[in-house]
Amino acid sequence: MKDAVASAQLPAKEAGQQAYLKIAGVVKKFGDHTAVDHVDLEIHQHEIFALLGSSGCGKSTLLRMLAGMETPTAGKILLDGQDITRLAPYNRPINMMFQSYALFPHMSVEQNIAFGLKQDGLPKDEISARVSEMLELVQMKKYATRKPYQLSGGQQQRVALARSLAKRPKLLLLDEPLGALDKKLRQQTQLELVNTLEKVGVTCIMVTHDQEEAMTMATRIGIMSEGQLLQVGTPSQIYDYPNCRFTAEFIGETNLFGGAVAVDEADRVEIDAPELGGRISIGHGITGPKGMEVWASVRPEDIRVDIRPVEPGPNRARGKVREIAYLGSYSVYHVQLGSGKVVKAMVPANRWYEAGETEPTWDDEVWISWRDDMPVVLTA
């Protein structure tokens, strides 16, 4: 319904295609600490899936269980129909690109890439053919005989990628693939990496705590918190329809209003929101009884700011401008409501000029409002 781009990236899945990787009820405990808590997940072939979550939420642990470096306390992992839960790492058709690349420092670029192929006992000429194919793929032909320490961060990343792709794994795991690069290089490498992965057509799971990276690179995203997988969906699904407060706040910025359901009709819901000092009206029904405690999430870019009073009604409030962050093509206004709650609103830079109005500044009185199809109702 929304994003043509995101849905175009989607692999042909819903059409009855069966999951390529299936993670079923996987638990990992370290002593009494549960690092991964009953995770169920299905990944389709050729998909680039991103696991997103804050530090220590169990992303790496889940990845290491897929690679075989850790054994699940409970649950099952199936890849392409084969149960690999207890298969040794060196027998799995899965390769991993490590967080700090883990290139072998005493081997040249070529030898690093050839390492996995040698373990498989491939004939010499096939190994060298495969190695040069990989070097071509990541454009590192010129550097074949260098040692890892003679490479820049970006080049090391490409060698690590080539090494993990050389064995043509059924599943590629990427642990913070760009975490070691600086911000500038990262943005450029993101696109480069996606291009390479799509060219090869490998199924991929990547771990990151950078939401922008996940949104840019992945076809689907899984949000993790405290060992649990909270939501899985395409970037736009997760952004537009978060299913809980954690996801709503973790992906992008949002304003959350808590309240009780006051009017509950088939095509309309109203929520009494004390923080707003009024009601939030939503143009669709929800499943839940009257009086239920819910939260409404309103994205800053969906909030309109006016300097003239708006008609009284739901979805609006009066407030004072506390802070303005000018970010070029738009500004973020921090508006403090009567309840003390500060609401963030994103205002396009040309908004005031086009309306022929003077721009509000600090401590000016403004009115905020939004359409009733903007809020998302969250019950958890």
Partner 1 sequence: MHNGKLSPFLKGALVVGFLFLYVPILSLIVYSFNASKLVTVWGGFSLRWYASLFENEQILSAVWLSVRIALAAAAAAVVLGTIAGLVLARFKRFPGSTLFAGMITAPMVMPEVITGLSMLLLFISLQQLIGVPTERGFFTIWVGHTTLCMAYVAVVVRSRLVEMDKNLEDAAMDLGAKPLKIFFVITLPLIAPAIASGFLLSVTLSLDDLVTTAFLSGPGSTTLPQVIFSKVRLGLNPEINALATITVLVVGSFVVLANYFMLNAQRKRDRAIAEAMRADAPKLPDVPLESLGRPGRA
Ligand X SMILES: Nc1ncnc2c1ncn2[C@@H]1O[C@H](COP(=O)(O)OP(=O)(O)OP(=O)(O)O)[C@@H](O)[C@H]1O
Among 87, 185, 263, 332, binds partner 1 (CB under 8 A): 185
Task: Confirm or reject binding of residue 99 to partner 1 (CB under 8 A).
Answer: yes
Q: Per-residue string for binding with partner 1, 274-313, x by CB under 8 A?
A: -------------------------x-xx-----------
Summarize as ranges the residues that interact with Mg ion (CB under 5 A). 60
Comparing C-alpha atoms, which of 175, 214, 209, 226 is closest to residue 67? 175
Q: How far is CA 119 from CA 112, 123, 281, in A?
A: 12, 11, 63
Among 72, 177, 227, 252, binds partner 1 (CB under 8 A): 252
Among 12, 90, 125, 289, binds partner 1 (CB under 8 A): 90
Query: How many positions of this chain bind partner 1 (CB under 8 A)?
Result: 55
Question: Can you tell me the distance from the alpha carbon of 165 to that of 159, in angstroms, rounded to the nearest whole number?
Answer: 10
61 binds, among ligand X, Mg ion, partner 1, none (CB under 5 to 8 A by kind): ligand X
Task: Confirm or reject binding of residue 100 to partner 1 (CB under 8 A).
Answer: yes
- Per CB under 8 A, the segment of 15-23, 35-43, 148-156, 277-285 that binds partner 1 is 148-156
Binding positions for partner 1, 64-83, rule CB under 8 A: 67-69
Among 60, 85, 112, 203, binds ligand X (CB under 6 A): 60
216 binds, among partner 1, Mg ion, ligand X, none (CB under 5 to 8 A by kind): partner 1
Closest CB to partner 1 among 360 and 375? 375
State in angstroms the smallest separation of the CB of 380 from ligand X. Answer: 21
User: Judging by DSSP bridges, how do beta strands 74-79 and 21-30 pair with one another?
Assistant: antiparallel
- Phi, psi dihedral angles at 129 (to 5 degrees): -65, -45
Query: How many positions of this chain bind ligand X (CB under 6 A)?
Result: 12
* Contact by Cβ (8 Å): 254, 239: no
Comparing C-alpha atoms, which of 154, 377, 179 is closest to residue 286? 377
Among 187, 350, 358, 379, binds partner 1 (CB under 8 A): 187
List interacting residues with ligand X (CB under 6 A). 30, 33, 35, 53, 55-61, 209
- Interacting residue ranges for partner 1, rule: CB under 8 A: 1-3, 5-6, 67-69, 89-91, 94-96, 98-100, 102, 104-106, 115-116, 119-120, 146-147, 149-155, 163, 167, 184-185, 187-188, 190-191, 211-212, 215-216, 235-236, 239-240, 252, 299, 301-302, 329
